[in-house]
Amino acid sequence: MAFPVQKSYSTEMSAKKSTPPRNEIEKLTERLREVTYLGTAIAVLQWDQEVTMPKKGADARAHTISLLAGLVHNKFLEVDHDGLLSGLKKKLDGGKLSPAEATVVRETWRSFSRERKLPETFVKEMAKLTSKSQNVWTEAREENNFAKFAPYLEQVVEKKREEAKLIGYADSPYDALLDTYEPGMTTSEIERIFGDLKTFLVPFLARIQKVSNNKLPHVIAKSAHFPIEKQIELSKQVAESMGYDLDAGRIDVSAHPFTTSFHPNDVRITTRYNPKDVLESIFPTMHEGGHALYEQGLPHEHFGTPLADATSLGIHESQSRLWENMVGKSLSFWKHWYPKLQKEFPGVFTAPLADFYASVNIVKPTLIRVEADEVTYNLHIIIRFELEKALIEGTIAVKDLPKLWSERYKEYLGITPKSDKEGVLQDVHWSTGYIGYFPTYTLGNLYSAQFWNTAKKQIPDLPKKIGKGDLKTLREWLRKHIHQHGKSYSAEDLALKITGEKLNPDYFSRYLEEKYTNIYKL
């Protein structure tokens, strides 16, 4: 996921006689592109597994993905079979590469150094295990049966501990896994950020609950019915208004909405539809649409290289959370879209706009993370981080998860799951081996508030534009300031470049205070 830096390869390289011959970088780029194309075959199979694959195909699919994962692993390690990458690394260390070249070599070397520590047998075993585990999780979730999934999760945890040991770490084994998704971030830094955030969120939530008693209006009648075909069309309209190119993508249905990118010309999202609540499709569509906009803007000429890759998952998540929350749950957005809802579903939305806006932003602890409001959402993430970190460090066992999950929800949110389905089985991440991923959701929230603050300063009439249905002005700002840089900057340095500060969680706290103090008259 990346955009070109200020100059193209050809312009930059011809201008610098001290850089290596173009064919060295072209050779590396060609090899990386082949690895990426092979990797997209796995992505297609995983997309199909979530969207269209028949239930009985799970075992065969696991073997196929395992075989391909081994091939991709070996193909990537072969980029240095003749010392090409090692030679470029020496030139990088000697300061002989241009900025664009340096990004490609630096980030490729970083990934290469990590990947070569993992044996092919480990890579294939992990791919097969997580493919099977994901299907078992789906069945266990449907059956509300954690015991069915637990043996697979135990294997996943053991494999992730093995991965951390192979990669190496200084303090916590969780560091090695976190670094996969958020390069440079450490467990201790996450604990500090999350600790400060929890200190703010818990009393702030208590203030809202004390004042409101959850008396904000619910404007959708329980008897309301929203035909799926109308919701599909509305989701399409919202996504296209954001700038999502449906000629280079599609919107499908899955149990857990996600975004998959095979190429800038093939970026797919999924959502879900509830015939009793149209908002359950609009917000996931905007969330995944935010991810997709990042992917669709990638430059074709750099496809397969770090110049066409996102800085981190925290930055990627900042795009989805910004669109879903800062835009999608704003009064400005609904000034334009609420009349459209009223027209599409006559007689259903009769409340004034102000009441509808308030209802969209009701703060109430719930058990389901993806349905959580902006105030409580990060408490869901903090719980997951604390538990998965403890799993990897070996201080808790898989069998203890349901009990510990319930205890944390009671402590942080004041509610207790009535079943494993609405508790420990609700997220797909552990079944797929994505341990270390959860913190990036909260980092995304924090970055999104910081970027949103800067965007409004640089585009003073942004809320008015959004209120008139103009979402593409914001998309272009994001493309210019975030998407085009690829991995040229670390997440921290990118925030500094855009906002003048490194990650500062205070922007998120102030955003919540300002918005919800006004809504709840605190």
Q: Are 298 and 308 in contact (CB under 8 A)?
A: yes
Nearest to residue 503, comparing CAs of 182, 198, 179, 108? 182
Q: Give just the sign of the alpha carbon dihedral 503, 504, 507, 510.
A: positive
DSSP 471-505: -HHHHHHHHHHTGGGTTSS-HHHHHHHHHSSS--T
Sheet of 266-271: strands edge to edge? 249-253, 266-271, 259-263
DSSP 391-429: HHHTSS-GGGHHHHHHHHHHHHHS---SSSTTTTTS-ST
**Bridge pairing between strands 266-271 and 249-253:** parallel
Q: Give just the sign of the alpha carbon dihedral 502, 464, 291, 426.
A: positive
**Bridge pairing between strands 259-263 and 266-271:** antiparallel
SS3 of the chain: helix, strand, coil, percent, to 5: 65, 5, 30
Estimate to the nearest angstrom the gap between the alpha carbon of 422 and the chain centroid.
21
Residue type, 522: L
| Residue 258 to residue 252: CA distance in whole angstroms | 10
Alpha-carbon separation of residue 284 from 144, 162, 252, 369 (angstroms): 24, 34, 12, 12
Estimate to the nearest angstrom the gap between the alpha carbon of 269 and the chain centroid.
12
Nearest to residue 205, comparing CAs of 440, 439, 378, 367? 378
Nearest to residue 324, comparing CAs of 485, 161, 186, 441? 441
Q: Are 156 and 137 in contact (CB under 8 A)?
A: no
User: Hey, how many other C-beta atoms are within 10 angstroms of the C-beta on 179?
Assistant: 20
| Residue 373 to residue 334: CA distance in whole angstroms | 17
Catalytic (active site) residue 288: yes
User: Which tokens belong to 49?
Assistant: 């597994």
| Residue 42 to residue 60: CA distance in whole angstroms | 13
Estimate to the nearest angstrom the gap between the alpha carbon of 476 and the chain centroid.
20
The catalytically annotated residue of 50, 288, 324, 492 is 288
Q: Are 132 and 55 in contact (CB under 8 A)?
A: no
**300 Cβ contact list (under 8 Å, min separation 6):** 264, 265
| Residue 39 to residue 158: CA distance in whole angstroms | 25
Q: Are 137 and 149 in contact (CB under 8 A)?
A: yes
Residue numbers annotated as active site: 288
